[in-house]
Amino acid sequence: MRAGFYLVAITGLMLGNGAMLAEARTIRVTIDKMAFVPAEIEAQVGDTIEWVNNDILVHTATVKGGWEVMIPAKGTASRAVVEAGQVDFYCRFHPNMKGRISVAAP
């Protein structure tokens, strides 16, 4: 009962706010044999990017002069998308590994 009430309240909030209309998604990037797959992703502010590392090595998703996510071997890591724009990221340990995130303006 209570849960139902909250759901209605949240739906109301979402409808009241245009930016929240699109449901936040989790976008998965797999790392397999030293490559980000897919290498290019599109996201929206509020989405979460999740890196799933199938390799036996530690990797990073690093934006030069910006953020960095450490992705443990055989592990996962994630980061919320907070701003619009396009960023290139790479693995600091294996600089050939590259990816790009394009975030549409809200």
Closer residue to Cu ion in complex, CB, 59/103: 59
Contact range with other proteins by CB under 8 A, out of 18-26, 36-44, 53-61, 78-86 = 53-61
Is 39 an interacting residue with respect to Cu ion (CB under 5 A)?
A: no
What's the distance, Cα to Cα, between the start and end of the chain in Å?
34
In the bound state with other proteins, the residue whose beta carbon lies nearer, of 90 and 103, is: 90
Could you give the CA distance from residue 85 to residue 102 in angstroms, rounded to a whole number? 6
Q: Which of residues 58-77 bind other proteins (CB under 8 A)?
A: 58, 73
